[in-house]
Amino acid sequence: MRNQVTSTAAVAMIALAGNVNAASFSSTETFSGTFGLSDNRQTYTELHGIVPGGSNLPPLFASDAYRSSASFVTGFGTFSGGNANGEYFGSFQVTSFIQRGSSNVWDLVGNYSYTNGTGVFSGIAGSGVVTGFNTFLTDTTGTTFRQLNGSFTVPIPEPSSYAMMLAGLLVLGALARRRRP
């Protein structure tokens, strides 16, 4: 009976170790690169070769990759990005896509939100505004610039959570050792 109570207490310590805080960031990140379009600028665009141009985020969260695809018909799209510490995913809507006079440059404005993440971006939540422009070199290729301004939060475990989990694991280890013949 005593071992069962001790085991239950150890499991409870590990379960309680799940307490987390959230780290919040206001972010501005810029990206530039090239793009290619399919379906003759009608239904789908995919951005390629996007490289970071600057970020106000700590290195742990600053993006070193960004990719997006969108429908010209609906204005909705998806994006992903991240770095060696994890990846984030999201969706966006282009609310304005206007040609600059008679030039081959089109300005865009839209809204984005994070939907999922891995690594340090696991549990990411937030949203913001995307602005930028596309410069068409041909009907299906060109260069692009994007700036994302927004905020996000990610869950960060409290140090006491790690201590509680370690204590629970030590108790379970001691019980397992005591039970051996």
pLDDT in tens, 56-97: 888 889 888 888 887 766 788 888 999 999 999 999 999 998
Q: What is the pLDDT of residue 162?
A: 64
Please tell me the pTM assigned to this model.
Answer: 0.71
Q: What is the pLDDT of residues 100-144, one digit of tens each?
A: 998 999 999 999 999 999 999 999 999 999 999 989 898 778 888
Q: What would the two tokens of residue 38 be?
A: 């399919």
Burial letters 4-38, b for 16+ CB under 10 A, else e: eeeeeebeebbeebeeeeeeeeebebbbbbebebe
Kindly report, residue by residue over 2-49, the tens digit of the pLDDT. Answer: 555 455 554 444 444 455 578 889 989 998 888 877 665 555 566 666
Q: How far apart are CA 101 and CA 60, in angstroms?
A: 41
pLDDT at 104: 93
pLDDT for the residue 5: 47
Domain ranges of the chain: 1-19+158-181, 20-157
Q: Which of 92, 100, 112, 105 is nearest to 143 (CA)?
A: 105
Q: Tokens for 111?
A: 């809204």
The amino acid occupying position 27 is S
